[in-house]
C-alpha cells in the first residue's frame, strides 16, 4: 500500500490556492472518464471515456490488457447514436453496456410528443469483438408484430457469477407493466423463463444460488381527490415449495416500508431496508424461522443503494451508495482504513475486486478533486492512479468546502456546506444559496462543478440539501406536497438566516438557485420570502403542478405522482410557483432543455411568460434537442455562461468579471 506515486502526490500540493480565473468550459464540460471496471480475472480494464476526434466528441469503450498493456476500442459512438450510462462485467468474455437510445414519443390526446430514452442492454463479446442487443432479432420481431416494445430493456436481475455464460434479465414480455424474468445465454441470446410475468411487479431479487426469490408489487388505491394511495407489497418465494406469499405491505414513503436488498449465502436469509429510530437500517429476515426479523446493520445515515458481496465468501460485506461503499465486515473495514491512510483527505470508494480479491479499483475524490481512479494490487502493495475524470481542472485552483450545522425552525439540526472564494476578506461577498436534492456527491459536500465555478467567480456558496435524499427522481416526497414542500423551502430560508448571522451571506446581494425539483423549492422559497433574495435562478424547475401532472398522465408513474403532489386543484395552485408571479419583482433566470423527459419544457415557458407579463426581468434560455441534464459540452457551456452573466448583472460582484 506504500507504493503511491510520489510525483502524483506532489503535483497536487506544491501550489497554493490562488485567485486564478479558470475558464468556464473547464468546469462545465462532461467528464473525460465516466467509468472504469475491472474484469473478474483482473487481467482487463474497461474504461468508458469521452474523447475528441476531428473536433467532435465521441463515446468510446477502451479495453486494456493489463498483462501486455495493449489497448483496444471496440465501441466508438457519437452522442446522437446512443449514450452508454453504465457498464459491468458479466464474465471475462462479456461486458454488459446499459445504453440510452433516444426516440420521439407521441402521447395521444395530450398534444405532447417528447423525446424519450429507450433503455437497452448490449453485450460486448471481448474475444469476438461483437456488440449485440440482448434481445435477439427473433425477439425484436415478436415485439414489432404486436406494435409495441418495452421502453426499459436493461434490467439485470442477477449476473449469476457462478455461471459465466448466463444472466437473469427482466422486461415486459406479454403486456406492459408485466415484467417476466429470463435466464439469457450471453453467447446465443437464447432465453428461458425463470418467472412468468406479473403485473405491476418490480425490484426482483435472486438468491445467491441464482433463483428469483423476492419482488415488489405496487397497488394504486384511488380515494378521490385527496386520498389516492400507493401501496407496496414485498413478496417472497419459498425455497422448497416455490409458492409466493406476502411478507410485508406498506404505503409509499412510509416508515413501515420494507425493501428487499439481497440474500446471504444462506438462501433463507433475506436482507431488507426498513426504518430504525427515524432512519434507514438493514434487517435480517429468517424465512425458515417464522420470518424472524432482527436488526442487522444501522449507522447515523440513511441506507441507499445495493449490497456489496465478497467474492470469497459469497456473503454481503457492505452496501453500495451513489458515492461510496459502507463496509460492516471487519476485514473489509480494515482494508478500507488502509486505503484511507494511503489516500488521506479524500473520499475513497472501492469499486470492485477481481475474483481472488487481489486486484481492486478505487475511485477517490473530494471537494477540490473531481475524481481519480486507482488500480491496486494487494500482493504487490501498490495503488497507482490510472485515470482522471476532469483532466483540465487543477485542484490547486479550486476552493475548499466546509460543513456546518444549523437548527431549523422545527428544531431539527441540519447540515449545510459552505464554499468561499479565494482571498476572502472579513466582509460578506455576493452569495448564492444553492438548493440540491442531496443525491450523489452533493449529499456530503463533495465536488460540484457549479459550486466551484461560482466560488472561482467570487461568490460565497451556501448549499442546503433536501432532508430525505432517497434514490429515484421522487424520493424526496413524503406524503403529499402540503407535507414535504413547506419543510424544504423553510429550510432554504433558515439556511439563508444562518449565513447572514455568520457574516457569510450579504443580505443585500444574494441569489437562490436550484435545478429540477430543487428548482421548484428555490422558487417557492423566493415566493414565500420575496425580500430575502435579490434574484432567483433555476434549471428545469416544476412551476405549475397541474400542468406537470397532466403532462405525465400517459405514463405509469402518474398515480404515484398524484399521491406525492396532490390531485386537489386548490392545493396544486397554492403550491405552484407560477401562482406567485404577480408577487415577485426580482430578476429570474430559467433554463430548460427542449426535449426534457422528466420536467417538460412547458413548465419553464409558462413561468417565463407569467413573469414577463408582470414586467419582471427574465432571462430564459431554451436549448434545442437537449434533455434534462444538457448532455453535450456545447449546451452546458451555453447554459452556464448565460447563468454566469446573469449572476454578474444581478449581484454586485467585481470578482465575477
Domain for residue 566, yes or no?
A: yes
Query: Is residue 295 one of the residues assigned to a domain?
Result: no
Residue count (the chain): 657
For 569-573, which contacts have Cβ atoms below 8 Å and span 24 or more sequence positions?
Answer: 571/226, 571/480, 571/481, 571/482, 572/545, 572/546, 573/545, 573/546
Q: Is residue 491 part of a domain?
A: yes
Instruction: Indicate the pLDDT class of residue 598, thresholds 50, 70 and 90.
Output: confident
pLDDT band, residue 559 (cuts 50/70/90): confident
Cβ pair 406, 494 in contact under 8 A = yes
pLDDT digits (tens, 9 = 90+) for 412-428: 999 999 999 987 877 88
pLDDT at 301: 67
**What's the pLDDT band for 563 if we cut at 50, 70, 90?**
confident
**pLDDT for 139-192, tens place per residue?**
888 888 887 888 899 999 999 999 999 999 999 998 888 999 999 999 999 999
Q: Is the pLDDT of residue 657 over 50?
A: no
Residue 536 lies in a domain: yes
Q: Quote the CA–CA distance of 19 and 457 in Å, as a whole number.
A: 9
Beta strands 166-172 and 33-38: pairing type? unpaired
What is the span of the domain harbouring residue 645? 399-656
Q: In whole angstroms, what is the distance from residue 356 CA to residue 378 CA?
A: 10
Residue 154 has, within 13 A of its CA and on its CB side, a CA count of 19
pLDDT at position 1 over 50 = no
Using pLDDT thresholds of 50, 70 and 90, give the confidence band for residue 380.
very high
Q: Which of 263-272, 392-401, 458-467 shows the highest mean pLDDT?
A: 263-272
Q: Which residues of 6-38 are buried (b: 16+ CB within 10 A; e: fewer)?
A: eeeeeeeeeeeeeeeebebebbbbbbbbbbbbb
Mean pLDDT check: name the lowest of 286-295, 399-408, 432-441, 643-652. Answer: 432-441
CATH number at residue 603: 3.40.50.1820
Residue 467 C-alpha cell reads as 432532508
Spatial distance between the Cα atoms of 205 and 236, rounded to a whole number of angstroms: 9
Q: In 330-472, which ranges are continuous DSSP H helix?
A: 330-342, 449-456
Give the chain's domain count.
1
**pLDDT for 269 beyond 60:** yes
Most confident of the ranges 422-431, 539-548, 626-635:
539-548
Q: List the 229-237 sheet strands across, edge first.
A: 201-206, 212-221, 229-237, 244-251
Concatenating the DSSP letter of every residue in 79-133 gives TTT-EEEEEEESSSSEEEEEEEEEEE--BTTTTB--EEEEEEEEEEETTTTEEEE
pLDDT the model gives residue 457? 95
Cβ atoms of 584 and 521 within 8 Å: the answer is no
Rounded to the nearest 5°, which phi and psi values hold at 322?
A: -65, -25
Please give the distance of CA 106 from its chain centroid, rounded to a whole number.
27
pLDDT value of position 655: 45
Environment class of 138 (CB within 10 Å of its CB; exposed 0-12, middle 13-18, buried 19+): exposed
Residue 2 has pLDDT above 50, yes or no: no
Q: How confident is residue 615, by pLDDT bands cut at 50, 70 and 90?
A: very high
Confidence of residue 476 (pLDDT cuts 50, 70, 90): low
* 88 pLDDT more than 90: yes
Give yes or no for residue 82 having a pLDDT over 50: yes
For residue 409, being part of any structural domain is answered with yes
238 vs 209: CA distance, rounded Å:
14
Q: Is residue 57 part of a domain?
A: no
pLDDT at 586 over 70: yes
Alpha-carbon distance 518 to 89, whole Å?
35
**How many angstroms separate the CA atoms of 306 and 361, rounded?**
18
Residue 46: pLDDT band (50, 70, 90) is very high
Whole-number average pLDDT of the chain: 88
Identify the residue with better confidence: 609 or 475. 609
Assigned domain for 429 exists: yes
pTM value? 0.85
Provide the CB-side half-sphere exposure for 585 (13 A, CA). 1
Q: How far apart are CA 135 and CA 116, in angstroms?
A: 20
pLDDT digits (tens, 9 = 90+) for 504-524: 999 999 999 999 999 999 999
What is each CA distance from 248 to 87, 205, 216, 303, in whole angstroms?
A: 33, 15, 10, 19
User: Tens of pLDDT along 338-362?
Assistant: 999 999 999 999 999 999 999 999 9
Task: Tell me how far apart the 2 most distant CA atoms of the chain are, in Å.
Answer: 73
Question: Looking at the domain assignment, is residue 553 inside a domain?
Answer: yes
3-class SS of residue 472:
coil
Which pLDDT score is estimated for 207? 98
- Contacts with 247 (C-beta within 8 Å, 6 or more apart), sequence order: 214, 234, 235, 236, 258, 285, 291
pLDDT for the residue 6: 32
What is residue 157's predicted lDDT score, i.e. its pLDDT? 97
Q: Report the distance separating Cα 582 and Cα 23, nearest Å.
A: 38
Q: What is the CA radius of gyration of the chain?
A: 25
Amino acid at each position: 500500500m506504500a507504493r503511491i506515486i510520489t510525483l502524483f502526490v506532489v503535483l497536487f500540493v506544491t501550489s497554493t490556492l490562488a485567485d486564478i480565473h479558470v475558464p468556464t468550459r473547464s468546469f462545465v464540460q462532461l467528464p473525460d472518464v465516466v467509468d472504469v471496471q475491472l474484469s473478474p480475472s483482473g487481467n482487463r480494464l474497461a474504461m468508458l471515456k469521452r474523447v475528441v476526434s476531428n473536433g467532435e466528441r465521441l463515446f468510446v469503450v477502451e479495453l486494456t490488457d493489463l498483462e501486455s498493456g495493449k489497448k483496444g476500442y471496440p465501441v466508438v459512438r457519437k452522442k446522437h447514436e446512443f449514450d452508454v450510462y453504465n457498464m459491468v462485467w458479466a464474465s471475462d468474455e462479456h461486458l454488459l453496456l446499459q445504453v440510452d437510445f433516444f426516440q420521439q414519443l407521441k402521447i395521444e390526446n395530450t398534444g405532447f410528443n417528447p423525446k424519450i430514452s429507450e433503455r437497452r442492454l448490449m453485450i460486448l463479446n471481448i474475444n469476438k469483438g461483437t456488440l449485440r442487443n440482448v434481445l435477439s432479432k427473433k425477439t425484436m420481431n415478436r415485439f414489432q408484430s404486436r406494435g409495441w416494445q418495452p421502453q426499459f430493456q436493461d434490467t439485470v436481475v442477477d449476473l449469476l457469477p457462478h455461471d459465466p455464460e448466463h444472466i437473469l434479465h427482466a422486461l415486459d414480455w406479454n403486456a406492459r407493466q408485466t415484467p417476466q424474468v429470463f435466464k439469457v445465454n450471453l453467447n446465443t441470446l437464447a432465453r428461458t423463463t425463470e418467472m412468468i410475468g406479473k403485473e405491476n411487479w418490480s425490484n426482483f431479487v435472486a438468491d445467491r444460488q441464482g433463483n428469483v426469490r423476492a419482488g415488489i408489487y405496487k397497488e394504486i388505491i384511488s380515494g378521490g381527490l385527496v386520498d389516492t394511495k400507493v401501496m407496496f407489497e414485498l413478496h417472497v418465494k419459498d425455497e422448497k415449495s416455490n409458492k409466493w406469499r406476502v411478507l410485508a405491505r406498506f404505503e409509499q414513503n412510509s416508515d413501515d416500508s420494507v425493501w428487499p436488498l439481497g440474500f446471504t449465502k444462506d438462501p433463507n436469509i433475506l436482507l431488507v431496508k426498513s426504518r430504525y429510530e427515524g432512519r434507514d437500517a438493514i434487517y435480517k429476515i429468517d424465512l425458515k424461522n417464522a420470518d424472524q426479523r432482527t436488526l442487522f446493520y444501522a449507522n447515523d445515515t440513511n441506507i441507499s443503494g445495493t449490497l456489496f458481496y465478497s467474492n470469497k465468501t459469497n456473503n454481503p460485506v457492505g452496501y453500495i451508495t451513489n458515492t461510496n461503499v459502507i463496509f460492516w465486515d471487519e476485514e473489509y473495514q480494515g482494508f478500507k482504513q488502509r486505503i484511507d491512510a494511503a489516500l488521506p483527505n479524500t473520499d475513497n470508494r472501492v469499486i470492485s475486486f477481481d475474483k481472488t480479491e487481489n486486484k481492486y479499483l478505487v475511485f477517490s475524490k473530494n471537494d477540490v478533486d473531481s475524481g481519480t481512479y486507482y488500480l491496486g494490487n494487494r500482493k504487490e502493495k501498490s495503488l497507482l492512479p490510472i485515470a482522471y475524470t476532469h483532466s483540465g481542472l487543477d485542484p490547486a485552483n479550486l476552493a475548499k468546502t466546509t460543513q456546518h450545522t444549523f437548527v431549523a425552525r422545527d428544531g431539527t439540526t441540519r447540515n449545510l456546506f459552505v464554499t468561499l472564494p479565494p482571498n476572502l476578506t472579513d466582509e460578506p461577498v455576493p452569495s448564492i444559496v444553492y438548493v440540491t436534492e442531496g443525491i450523489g456527491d452533493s449529499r456530503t459536500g463533495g465536488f460540484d462543478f457549479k459550486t466551484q465555478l461560482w466560488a472561482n467567480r467570487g461568490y460565497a456558496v451556501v448549499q442546503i440539501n433536501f432532508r430525505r435524499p432517497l434514490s429515484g427522481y421522487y424520493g424526496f416526497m413524503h406524503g403529499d406536497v402540503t407535507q414535504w414542500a413547506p419543510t424544504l423551502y423553510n429550510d432554504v430560508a433558515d439556511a439563508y438566516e444562518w449565513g447572514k448571522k455568520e457574516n457569510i451571506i450579504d443580505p443585500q446581494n444574494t441569489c437562490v438557485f436550484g435545478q429540477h425539483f430543487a428548482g421548484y423549492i428555490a422558487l417557492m422559497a423566493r415566493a414565500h420570502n420575496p425580500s430575502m433574495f435579490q434574484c432567483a435562478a433555476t434549471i428545469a424547475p416544476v412551476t405549475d403542478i397541474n400542468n406537470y401532472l397532466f403532462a405525465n398522465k400517459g405514463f405509469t408513474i402518474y398515480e404515484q405522482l398524484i399521491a406525492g403532489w396532490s390531485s386537489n386543484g386548490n392545493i396544486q395552485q397554492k403550491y405552484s410557483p407560477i401562482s406567485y408571479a404577480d408577487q415577485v419583482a426580482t430578476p429570474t433566470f430559467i433554463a430548460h432543455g427542449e426535449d426534457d423527459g422528466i420536467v417538460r419544457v412547458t413548465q419553464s415557458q409558462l413561468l417565463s411568460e407569467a413573469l414577463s407579463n408582470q414586467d419582471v426581468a427574465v432571462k430564459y434560455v431554451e436549448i434545442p434537442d437537449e434533455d434534462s441534464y444538457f448532455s453535450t459540452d456545447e449546451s452546458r457551456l451555453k447554459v452556464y455562461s448565460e447563468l454566469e452573466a446573469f449572476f454578474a448583472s444581478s449581484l454586485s460582484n467585481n470578482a465575477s468579471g
